[in-house]
Amino acid sequence: MLEVRDLKVSFHTEQGPARAIDGVSFDVAEGEILGVVGESGSGKTVSLLAVMGLITDPNVVIEGSIKYQGRELVGLPAKEMRKLRGREIAMIFQDPMTALTPVYTIGWQIAEQIRAHNSISAKQAEQRAIDLLAEVNIANPHEAIHRYPHQLSGGMRQRAVIAMALSCNPSLLVADEPTTALDVTVQAQILDLVRKLQKNHKSAVVFITHDMGVIAEIADRVMVMYAGRIVERGNKVALFSNPLHPYTKALLDSIPLLEGERPRRLKSIPGSPPALLNRPKGCAFAPRCANRFEACASVPVLPNAGHDAACFKVNP
């Protein structure tokens, strides 16, 4: 359904161009949940913003190909892109506190999106907003549509944002760390909600997070990103049981286990991710990798197989 090929996103800075995304390719199939993991700055959000056409900064250059249901999105006129956005592809953002316009009621904001894409009356749009709020388990939806964002708790707001994203039955939903800003108990509820809605609406979901635990909970397939590239990709079960890339291994090692013997100390990855303008020439993870060798001086490719990693140890 979504095919991204060799996507590159570069920023023009005072000190020359900086490549935030360096040749990323992936697919999203109908109805699946793809988890995208990586540290902040790994490019997971930027690549999905590029898919949404939400990078408006004139200093940014986007290259490569993004095909949505066979249609090329890179270079698509803004007006056409706008018709897709919100109707076909919807997005949920990280911080529900700031994601809603403070001066309008949530009912108004949901109805606004519905009416931007469908020619229906204000009355019908309001009814649809009420139904949506009920669907995301907000109590008293008749009353809730008249609430302003600041009158709702963080979890409630995120539910409202999700209701808004689902309002036009999108076939692809991009969720950018939707649970990060929430309390742990609320996080679980929201994850359940996303899963339930994904089943009901049969949308595909791209779920961005830095939390391997969340991925384990929700994803069908996983894509691990590091320094603007995909380092490993595969089925969730395969990837968790048999991580190939040293970075993925390190990520999994840093999660506390619920069963079995607890390690005395959680492992952490030595060093820190490279700065955007200062990325290594070859494999970006090499400086932090215990297994590096001569081959790591060039960029490893990610084979287009079911479960594979961009690492010379795995694919010599």
Partner 1 sequence: MLLAITRRLGQMLFVLVGISILVFLIFFATPGADPSARIAGRNASPEILEAVRKSFGFDQPFYMQYLIMMKKIFVTGDLTSFVNRGWKVVPAVFEAIPVTLSLVIGAAVLWVVFGIIIGTVAAATRGSWLDKFLMVLGLVGISMPVYWLGEVMNLVTQSRYHDTWMFSWVPPLGYKNISTDPRGWFLTLIIPWFTLAILYIGLYGRVLRANLIEALQEDYVRTARAKGLSETRILLRHALRTSLTSFVTLFGLDFGALVGGAALLTEVVFDLHGVGMLTYNALLTLDLPVIMATVLYASFFVVLSNALVDVVYIFLDPRVRTA
Partner 2 sequence: MSEVVLNTVIKSRGPWATAMRRLWRDRAAMAALTCFLIILCMCLLAPVYAGWSHAEPFKSTLDATIQINGQTVNVMEQSTEGLGLGYNPIGPTWQLGNYFLGADNQGRDVMSRLLYGGLNSFLIAGAATVLTLFFATLIGLAAGFFGGVVDAVLSRVLDILWAFPVYLLAISLSIVLIAHGIEIGPITIESGSLWLPIFIIGIVYIPYVARPVRGQVMSLRQSEFVMAAIGLGASNSRILLRDILPNVATTLIVFIPLMMALNMLTESALSFLSIGVQAPDASWGTIIQDGQGLLYSRPMVALAPGLAIVLSVLALNVLGDGLRDALDPRSKIKLGRG
- CA nearest to 53, candidates 82, 29, 27: 82
Binding-residue pattern over the window 158 to 177 for partner 1, x denoting contact by CB under 8 A: ---x--xx------------
Q: Which residue of 116, 134, 191, 252 would you call a contact of partner 1, by CB under 8 A?
A: 116
Q: Which residue of 37, 44, 45, 197 would you call a contact of partner 2, by CB under 8 A?
A: 45
Residue 82 contact, options partner 1, partner 2, none, Cβ 5-8 Å cut-off depending on partner type: partner 1
* Count of positions (residues) in the chain: 316
Q: Which residue of 4, 90, 182, 289 would you call a contact of partner 1, by CB under 8 A?
A: 90
Least Å from the CB of residue 54 to partner 1: 6
Q: Which is nearer to partner 1, 20 or 250 (CB)?
A: 20
**Under rule CB under 8 A, residue 310 binds partner 1:** no
User: What distance in Å separates the CA atoms of residue 120 and residue 117, rounded to the nearest whole number?
Assistant: 9
Please enumerate in sequence order all residues whose Cβ is within 8 A of that of 234, keeping only pairs 6 or more positions apart, or say none: 221, 222, 244, 306, 307, 308
- Interhelix angle 122-135/154-166, rounded to 10 degrees, is 120
**Under rule CB under 8 A, residue 91 binds partner 1:** yes
User: What distance in Å separates the CA atoms of residue 164 and residue 168, rounded to the nearest whole number?
Assistant: 8
Long-range CB pairs of 25-28 (<8 Å, 24+ gap) are 25/230, 25/302, 25/304, 26/223, 26/230, 26/233, 27/1, 27/2, 27/3, 28/1, 28/2, 28/172, 28/204, 28/206
Q: Which residue of 6, 13, 98, 242 would you call a contact of partner 2, by CB under 8 A?
A: 13
Least Å from the CB of residue 280 to partner 1: 32
Least Å from the CB of residue 122 to partner 1: 15
**Under rule CB under 8 A, residue 98 binds partner 1:** yes
Residue 277 contact, options partner 1, partner 2, none, Cβ 5-8 Å cut-off depending on partner type: partner 2
Q: Which is nearer to partner 2, 49 or 161 (CB)?
A: 49
**Under rule CB under 8 A, residue 41 binds partner 2:** yes
The secondary structure element, H or E, covering residue 135 is: helix 122-135
Produce one character per residue of 64-97: b if its CB has 16 or more CB atoms within 10 Å, e if not.
bebebeeeebbebeeeeeeebbbbbbbbbbbbbe
Q: Which two tokens stand for residue 233?
A: 């990709």
Least Å from the CB of residue 231 to partner 2: 21
User: What distance in Å separates the CA atoms of residue 27 and residue 51, rounded to the nearest whole number?
Assistant: 12
Q: Which two tokens stand for residue 60?
A: 């940014």
Judged by CB under 8 A, which stretch of 44-52, 63-71, 73-81, 119-127 contacts partner 2? 44-52
Least Å from the CB of residue 46 to partner 2: 6
User: What distance in Å separates the CA atoms of residue 191 and residue 33, rounded to the nearest whole number?
Assistant: 12
**Under rule CB under 8 A, residue 46 binds partner 2:** yes
Q: Which residue of 59, 98, 254, 291 would you call a contact of partner 2, by CB under 8 A?
A: 59
Q: Which two tokens stand for residue 223?
A: 């894509």
How far are the Cα atoms of 5, 111, 120, 139 from residue 127, in angstroms, in the given order? 40, 9, 11, 15
**Under rule CB under 8 A, residue 102 binds partner 1:** yes
**Under rule CB under 8 A, residue 107 binds partner 1:** no
What are the phi and psi torsion angles at 290 (to 5°)?
A: -75, -25
- The residues binding partner 2 (CB under 8 A) are 11, 13-15, 18, 20, 41, 45-46, 49, 55, 57, 59-60, 275-277
- The residues binding partner 1 (CB under 8 A) are 52, 54, 56, 58, 78, 82-87, 90-91, 93, 95, 98-104, 112-113, 116-117, 148, 150-151, 161, 164-165
